[in-house]
Structure 1
């Protein structure tokens, strides 16, 4: 439970602009208000981190850049397809960033990293695969099932991420406990091979 609480905060914070955008779309606020609100929140997240003197995570910069680009394109053209295509582009970029070893390290307490760092790296690849799958699904829905897109974007990205997040946390917890028991009994070194 401690690991879950430690990880969920940064995950929600990193995605706050996108979450606001998706929720507003689902409740029927419209593309323009949802885009403006998502932009303001994404700017606020990055501004808050900078004001605190913290390093802004790569996912936060990506989210902000994509929100600003698609918001400008949508507001200048009045064409919501820019916003509909944005998640595909974002998922492809984020998936590519997630291929980098160690990107999940900020989501786990340092004392656990020495125990399950290898598991975190494997889950990094699984998260990247989810992003690439989400990119493909978003493009298909946006192009061929446009009327369903607001419902899709409001449910699938959050549901799939929270589902994988729950699995990820559970697996890491089980493996951590097993490795700690083995280490205590002298059967395994600090980290698995």
Structure 2
């Protein structure tokens, strides 16, 4: 779990840096330049350390460079604010693969409720698409405080809530099915 949070923080570091610098300085050019340089420096640092970088890392850096360049050319922060939406859409598309969640579940859940795991995978994909659309809507306003609230509280909270609901549902389904199997 710690590794997952470290990767997420790494993937969203440029957006966080952009937001912090922009809020402090109100300078789009400075915030974007530092975010783009930071994203490139992350890749260089990882390569120097001999760490293998995944597809998502390269995609994230490419997005930062492309959206950062558009932000610099237009002097409009909304392009950088849209970056998390693209990540949500990409992750949602990956989650459309049938059974993708099965490898992340404990064997007891996989053996007892694979149908629920598959349905949960599609529910997660739908959540990612909804959060991506919400991010674009909020980013289009250009309101950084609203965007920061949406990304941290709404999007983050929705994922935590979805995980908690999924845990409770899986626990109930597995318990009920195991009891029913024991009675039979």
TM-score, with structure 2 as normaliser: 0.72
Structure 1 residue 20: Cα displacement: 4.2
Which of 70-79 and 109-118 deviates more? 70-79
The residue number in structure 1 matching 2:176 is 178
**Which of 57, 69, 83 in structure 1 is aligned with 2:62?**
69
- Partners of 1:17 and 1:142 in 2: how far apart? 21
SS at match of 2:97: coil
Show CA shifts across 1:150-180 (max 9, x none): 2322222211111101111111111111111
- When the two structures are aligned, how many residues end up with a matched partner? 165
- Partners of 1:109 and 1:38 in 2: how far apart? 35
Aligned residues of 1:21 and 1:37 also touching (Cα < 8 A): yes
Matched, 1:84 2:81: yes
Aligned residues of 2:15 and 2:81 also touching (Cα < 8 A): no
- Partners of 2:13 and 2:156 in 1: how far apart? 11
Aligned CA distance change for structure 1 residues 19 and 76 (closer, same or farther; 3 Å): closer
**What are the within-5 Å matches in structure 2 for residues 133-144 of structure 1?**
133-144=130-141
- Partners of 1:158 and 1:136 in 2: how far apart? 15
Gaps of 5+ in 1: 1-7, 187-193
Matched, 1:16 2:9: yes
After superposition, the CA RMSD in angstroms is 2.9
Aligned residues of 2:89 and 2:129 also touching (Cα < 8 A): yes
**Which of 105, 120, 125 in structure 1 is aligned with 2:122?**
125
Gaps of 5+ in 2: 23-30
Task: Return the structure number with greater relative CO, CA threshold 8 A, min gap 6.
Answer: 1
**What are the within-5 Å matches in structure 2 for residues 152-163 of structure 1?**
152-163=150-161
- Partners of 1:25 and 1:154 in 2: how far apart? 14
Aligned CA distance change for structure 1 residues 110 and 69 (closer, same or farther; 3 Å): same
The residue number in structure 2 matching 1:104 is 101
Aligned residues of 2:14 and 2:38 also touching (Cα < 8 A): yes
Aligned residues of 2:89 and 2:132 also touching (Cα < 8 A): yes
Q: Radius of gyration: which is bigger?
A: 2
